[in-house]
């Protein structure tokens, strides 16, 4: 078996067929779909069983509700493919995505992870297309430093399944993808990125991220701080200043809500960021300090 595709399911009867059909439409035969019904209370479990009855390469499982991480971990326990990927059940995969990626993996045995493009929020005013570029990172920390912390998603990647032999998604944690990447990066995988293939992320207004915006950036900052600590990253080094700026943004919103500072103050480069706003924030941190920058942000954003 070449590829295991794990699809956690929870009360997604309206989108599940779209998701599974998009995966079935891929031009690959040596794959399995693991549909993990995580205690759904709607028709999702029945729909999963229907697909399993019609397709020999689909297995349907039912388990008590344990959350996204628990469902993914359940899928990993039953996956048998050499490679594994994840699809959220309210999303879809564009046609002809997996076949070229698997061809690349077959040609390059050294690739442990391959990352591809993601279309976010299609049809909405803030629709964006993420393209990681065409790169090969022999050192996973180089991938992380090259904006990798901004796209620590698992759904737009195919992994060698052996990377998960001793890795599981954390239960009960937000930003579980970033926290899982810490454990993956500690294995020093070779990561290839490509600008073809496409994962389509549909924004769910009823999802956790949409309903918990107030606490979301605090949880993100906590995950980023864990990543920095666990991987021994020195954010004082210039290559990590963009990561520090991402953390600073989360810190500003956290302070506005709680007046708590979790980020350590430091000096950072003023130029070289994506927007002038980041350069302004860097200038403020360097001149008036982290705490005063947080207080100024809270005052001006009321």
Residue 213 has pLDDT above 60, yes or no: no
Residue 214 has pLDDT above 70, yes or no: no
pLDDT of 132 reads: 96
What is the average pLDDT across 258-284?
Answer: 94
What is the average pLDDT across 237-250?
Answer: 96
Q: Quick one: 146 and 243 in the same domain? A: no
Q: β-pairing, 128-130 with 113-120?
A: antiparallel
CB 83 within 8 A of CB 161: yes
Q: pLDDT tens digits, residue range 58-74?
A: 999 999 999 999 999 99
How many domains, in total, are found in the chain?
A: 2
Length of the chain (residues): 302
Q: pLDDT tens digits, residue range 174-192?
A: 999 999 999 999 999 999 9
Q: Quick one: 128 and 104 in the same domain? A: yes
Q: pLDDT tens digits, residue range 25-45?
A: 998 989 999 999 999 999 999
Indicate left, alpha or beta for 272 from its phi (over 0: left) and psi (-120 to 50: alpha): left
Roughly what angle, to the nearest 10 degrees, separates helices 44-54 and 16-24? Answer: 20
Q: Quick one: 108 and 160 in the same domain? A: yes
pLDDT of 302 reads: 78
| Residue 93 lies inside a defined structural domain of this protein | yes
Structure tokens at 62: 């039912």
> How high does pLDDT run on average in the chain?
95
Query: Cβ–Cβ contacts within 10 Å for residue 257, how many?
Result: 12
| Residue 206 lies inside a defined structural domain of this protein | no
Structure tokens at 160: 């060698």
Banded model confidence at residue 301, pLDDT cuts 50, 70, 90: confident
**Residue from 113, 122, 63, 65 nearest 92 by CA:** 122
Domain end, chosen from 201, 225, 244, is at 201
pLDDT of 190 reads: 98
Q: Quick one: 111 and 189 in the same domain? A: yes
Domain end, chosen from 150, 177, 201, is at 201
Q: Report how far residue 8's alpha carbon sits from residue 239's, in angstroms, rounded to the nearest whole number.
A: 36
| Residue 189 lies inside a defined structural domain of this protein | yes
pLDDT of 208 reads: 53
| Residue 40 lies inside a defined structural domain of this protein | yes
43: Cβ contacts below 8 Å, ≥ 6 apart = 13
Q: Quick one: 53 and 144 in the same domain? A: yes
Query: Higher-confidence residue: 41 or 203?
Result: 41
DSSP three-state, residue 34: strand
Q: pLDDT tens digits, residue range 76-126?
A: 999 999 999 999 999 999 999 999 999 999 999 999 999 999 999 999 999
Q: Quick one: 167 and 218 in the same domain? A: no
Query: Cβ–Cβ contacts within 10 Å for residue 252, how many?
Result: 20
Q: Quick one: 196 and 259 in the same domain? A: no
| Residue 238 lies inside a defined structural domain of this protein | yes
Q: Quick one: 42 and 187 in the same domain? A: yes
| Residue 38 lies inside a defined structural domain of this protein | yes
Banded model confidence at residue 129, pLDDT cuts 50, 70, 90: very high
Q: Quick one: 246 and 140 in the same domain? A: no
Q: Quick one: 12 and 111 in the same domain? A: yes
What is the average pLDDT across 137-159?
Answer: 96
CB 170 within 8 A of CB 92: no
Banded model confidence at residue 207, pLDDT cuts 50, 70, 90: low
Q: Quick one: 54 and 133 in the same domain? A: yes
Which ranges in the chain belong to alpha helices (H)? Answer: 16-24, 44-54, 68-78, 98-107, 140-145, 176-185, 208-211, 213-230, 241-258, 276-288, 290-300
pLDDT of 264 reads: 96
CA distances to 9, 73, 81, 215, 254 from 163, in Å: 23, 13, 12, 31, 34
Q: Report how far residue 149's alpha carbon sits from residue 75's, in angstroms, rounded to the nearest whole number.
A: 25
Domain span holding position 240:
212-300
Domain end, chosen from 201, 232, 257, is at 201
Q: Quick one: 14 and 146 in the same domain? A: yes
Residue 212 has pLDDT above 70, yes or no: no
Domain of 42, CATH number, reads 3.90.550.10
Structure tokens at 118: 């993601």
What is the average pLDDT across 18-25?
Answer: 98
């Amino acid at each position: 078996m070449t590829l295991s595709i794990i699809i956690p399911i929870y009360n997604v009867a309206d989108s599940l067929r779209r998701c599974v059909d998009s995966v079935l439409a891929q031009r690959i035969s040596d794959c399995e779909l693991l549909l993990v019904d995580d205690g759904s209370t709607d028709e999702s479990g029945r729909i999963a069983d229907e697909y399993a009855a019609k397709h020999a390469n689909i297995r349907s499982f039912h388990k008590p509700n344990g959350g996204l991480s628990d469902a993914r971990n359940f899928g990993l326990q039953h996956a048998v493919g050499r490679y594994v990927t994840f699809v959220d059940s309210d999303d879809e995969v564009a046609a002809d995505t997996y076949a070229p990626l698997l061809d690349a993996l077959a040609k390059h045995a050294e690739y442990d992870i391959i990352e591809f493009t993601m279309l976010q929020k299609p049809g909405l005013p803030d629709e964006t297309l993420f393209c990681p570029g065409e790169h090969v990172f022999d050192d996973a920390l180089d991938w992380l430093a090259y904006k990798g912390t901004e796209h620590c998603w698992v759904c737009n990647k195919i992994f060698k399944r052996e990377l998960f032999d001793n890795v599981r998604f954390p239960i009960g944690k937000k930003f579980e993808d970033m926290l899982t990447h810490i454990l993956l990066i500690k294995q020093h995988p070779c990561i290839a990125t490509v600008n073809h293939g496409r994962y389509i992320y549909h924004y769910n207004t009823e999802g956790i991220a949409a309903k918990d915006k107030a606490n979301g950036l605090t949880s993100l900052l906590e995950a980023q701080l864990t990543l920095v600590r666990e991987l021994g990253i020195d954010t004082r080094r210039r290559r990590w200043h963009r990561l520090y700026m991402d953390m600073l943004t989360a810190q500003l919103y956290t302070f506005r809500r709680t007046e708590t500072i979790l980020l350590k103050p430091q000096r950072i480069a003023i130029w070289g960021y994506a927007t002038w706003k980041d350069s302004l924030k860097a200038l403020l941190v360097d001149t008036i300090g982290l705490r005063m920058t947080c207080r100024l942000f809270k005052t001006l954003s009321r």
